[in-house]
Amino acid sequence: MKQLIAGLGNIGDEYADTRHNIGFMILDAFAKASNVVFDINKRYGAVVELRLKNQQLILLKPYTYMNLSGNAVRYWMQKEKIELPNLLIVVDDLALPFGTLRLKTKGSDAGHNGLKHIREVLGTSDYNRLRFGIGNDFSPGRQINFVLDSFSEEEQKRLPERIEIAVEIIKSFVLAGADITMNLFNNK
């Protein structure tokens, strides 16, 4: 059985270490820990395939920019014949305090343009997502600047440990499923 793990972000050096790119950062850490390297020349993004025990995974970092993430997700789901329950989107979330991790099996896009486009393209919001809290410490009207800015110095100190936990959540999702993983990790 194949599973698609898509980490959302924006391509380009100017976005590399921004809050909005936490999905890319988490998948980069997953690939590094698995000793695999993304092929940056795949359609719609950077892709790497790997096995985790008896599961075949496709890690995807869409190169469509955030607002068109659904195009890449749909393409790889169709190409690899991946069922909706075997899709996991890794995304930043303003509604959660920094470093908070929440796995959900469905939900609203909460104003996130990447999730909004995925919902539009797939025709449903009933897909798994791992939300990484980036906080909301910004002045009114400054949301775009906040998500496209780098993590604070204090956040950068905690980031490696939080990313490592996010990788563990993805592994648990792949091997044990969403329900068990939510029970294990969502209240920590």
* C-alpha span between 118 and 101 (Å, rounded): 20
Beta strands at 87-93 and 128-133: parallel, antiparallel or unpaired = parallel
Q: Please list the ranges in the chain whose pLDDT falls under 70.
A: 188
* Distances from the Cα of 148 to the Cα of 16, 77, 78, 90, 166, angstroms: 9, 28, 31, 17, 21
DSSP state string for 111-171? T-HHHHHHHHHHT-S-SEEEEEE------TT-HHHHHTSBPPHHHHHHHHHHHHHHHHHHH
With both helix axes pointing from N to C terminus, report the angle between 153-176 and 22-33 in degrees, rounded to the nearest 10.
60
Indicate whether this model's pTM tops 0.75.
yes
Supply the pLDDT for residue 175.
96
Compute how many other C-beta atoms are within 10 angstroms of the C-beta atom of residue 76.
Answer: 22
* 117: annotated active-site residue: no
Q: Give the DSSP letter of residue 102.
A: E
How many independent structural domains does the chain possess? 1
The pLDDT value given to residue 144: 86
Kindly report the length of the chain.
188
Residue type, 140: P
Domain of 173 in residue numbering reads as 2-185
CATH value at residue 123: 3.40.50.1470
pLDDT of residue 138: 82
Catalytic pick among 19, 20, 42, 131: 20
Return the pLDDT at 134.
95
